[in-house]
Amino acid sequence: AQSVAQPEDQVNVAEGNPLTVKCTYSVSGNPYLFWYVQYPNRGLQFLLKYITGDNLVKGSYGFEAEFNKSQTSFHLKKPSALVSDSALYFCAVILRTDSWGKLQFGAGTQVVVTP
């Protein structure tokens, strides 16, 4: 069965410092990988995705993520965090053979950026 793990419930970082949110996955095939962000009492907003090609993916709001097949990871990064980046971040996976596009989500990581 496919699964996604986000090992940290919360990440605390000072504004201006680098931000990393970790994600590992377990699938039997080649996955499509996604990152979403959620602000309080709102829906999810798409940040970026890995489908194929370059392992470094750039997305919205200055975020990027690196696909590492050998470590089955897809960590989200931002070189300089902003207070407005404080939110709940979700990693998600779809098996390439799954044409329905059903997303399997991690439990989420709360990011807190302090001024």
Partner 1 sequence: DGGITQSPKYLFRKEGQNVTLSCEQNLNHDAMYWYRQDPGQGLRLIYYSQIVNDFQKGDIAEGYSVSREKKESFPLTVTSAQKNPTAFYLCASSMERGNTEAFFGQGTRLTVV
Give the residue with the Cβ less far from partner 1, 58 or 96. 96
Residues that bind partner 1 (CB under 8 A): 9, 32, 34, 36, 41-46, 49, 51, 90, 94-96, 98-103, 105-108
For 2-34, give the DSSP string.
Answer: -EEE---SEEEEETTS-EEE--EEE-SSPEEEE
Nearest distance from residue 17's CB to partner 1, in Å?
A: 26
3-state secondary structure of 60: helix
Nearest distance from residue 20's CB to partner 1, in Å?
A: 19
Rounded Cα–Cα distance for residues 16 and 90 (Å): 22
Give the residue with the Cβ less far from partner 1, 46 or 61. 46
Beta bridge partner(s), residue 44:
38
Nearest distance from residue 74's CB to partner 1, in Å?
A: 14
Tokens encoding 98: 């799954």
Give the residue with the Cβ less far from partner 1, 15 or 95. 95
